[in-house]
Amino acid sequence: MTAMTAKRIAGPLSSMTAKRALDLALGSALLLLATPALALAALALAVRPPREGRGVRRREIRVGLDGRPFELRSLRTRRLRLDLLSRLPHVVRGELSLVGPAPLTPGEAALLEAAAARRRQSVRPGLTGLAQVRARSGMPWDEPALLDAHYAEHHGTGLDLAILAQSVRIPLGAALRRLRRPGKAHLSDTDHRLPGYSVAE
């Protein structure tokens, strides 16, 4: 390996943040694991009777890091959260993060105040986020906009891992409760609390 080639490889690696490294490593692994299920889902969507000219994928323009627009593509299904998993290629490419604020449309982004827009666009939008895992708590400080702003200011690897754990635990816990008590499954407010974490930082 020449010195020039080594510098070319070392440059991007040295500038990679821990968050981006987590996105690349875990995002690539999840995409590899999810590919068979995504392929089957895409096939099932392709062979179903067409409705209103809708295709297999939903394509929408969203605002990403530093306000750059990108086309968000996802499968038109909510089964097993496959619509979210189908966005994993965006994570690998760097348009999305595993954890971050929900990606806004250009119209939604235009309604934000300048300071709020700068904070939100300082991080990549995510597949899941603080607002999503605490959406049903009903607490006044758990408004999605406040949680997104808080995440943008205080994000870190520890918080990301806690949010990812909650994102898996909440639907898994709900599924297990449905198996134990059919027809009576519900999520309590405490299901959306991150252990040892408070927004009042």
Q: How confident is the model at residue 31 (pLDDT cuts 50, 70, 90)?
A: very high
Q: Please write the tens of the pLDDT for every residue from 125-143.
A: 999 999 888 875 556 556 8
Terminal C-alpha separation, the chain: 48
Which residues have a Cβ under 8 Å from the Cβ of 94 and sit 6 or more positions away?
A: 20, 23, 65, 124
* pLDDT tens-digit map of 101-132: 999 999 999 998 888 888 889 999 999 999 88
Average pLDDT, the chain: 80
| pTM, 2 dp | 0.74
Closest to 127 in 3D by CA, of 178, 182, 89: 89
Q: What is the pLDDT of residue 187?
A: 45
Q: What distance in Å separates the CA atoms of residue 159 and residue 188, rounded to the nearest whole number?
A: 21
Say which residue, 115 or 1, is predicted with more confidence. 115
Q: Decide which of 124 and 180 is more confident.
A: 124
